[in-house]
Amino acid sequence: MTLRGTIVFSIGVLAALGAGWAGFPRVIYQTHRQPVDFSHQIHADKAGSKCDDCHAFRADGTFAGVPTLDKCSGCHAAAMGSTVAEKNFIERFVTPQREPEWLVYARQPENVYFSHITHVKRANLKCERCHGNQGTSNTLPPFQQDRISGYSRDIWGHAGRPAMTMDACVACHRQSHLEHSCLDCHK
């Protein structure tokens, strides 16, 4: 191959590498914003809330997940502070009694069974182990959804933060010598 040919080929390689590593992740994920600008940090610092104050277990051991509007309305029936985010939240959701459609980063596919109570109460895992520093963050990260598979980047991708991907689950189970079978997690 001539020098010119080598240069053209190399440009092709570099263009593909650039597109594949920098452009593709932007294209493949569709970014959605959460319906409310929620600050975990403010709730933790000012209200002294702990994770399980809002993300509680029910009496039967199932995980309630994202709190419903009733829980939020208990404190925010009227504005408690002066932030725009709180004002918007009350106007858009609390007053009309409309449930915010939260986007759940770690919602697992239908073929996966995940028990929060087993991991939290039995394995004594901290929430941060899987959810990173969400509990102390001031803003919620954008929800990135794979355009083709429909899955959240946090469960099937590289979110760049602790997430609930299958690789992360496998690594942790392997480290804890709890690799029994696929059916540990898969239905």
Residues in contact with another protein by the rule CB under 8 A: 1, 4-5, 8-17, 19-21, 24-25, 28, 58, 60, 62, 64, 68, 109-111, 146, 148-151, 156
Closest to another protein by CB, 15 vs 75, is: 15
Min dist. Cβ of residue 80 to another protein (A): 26
Amino acid identity at 53:
D
Nearer to another protein, 39 or 145 (CB): 145
Give dist(CA 162, CA 96) in Å, integer. 35
Minimum CB separation of residue 178 from another protein in Å reads 25
Smallest separation (angstroms) from another protein to the CB of 48: 27
Nearer to another protein, 17 or 178 (CB): 17
The least CB distance from residue 100 to another protein, in Å, is 15
Query: Judging by beta carbons within 10 Å of its beta carbon (0-12, 13-18, 19+), is residue 31 exposed, middle or buried?
Result: exposed
- Dihedral-angle region of residue 92 (phi above 0 means left; psi in -120 to 50 means alpha; beta otherwise): alpha
| Backbone conformation region of residue 132, classed left if phi is above 0, alpha if psi is from -120 to 50, else beta | left
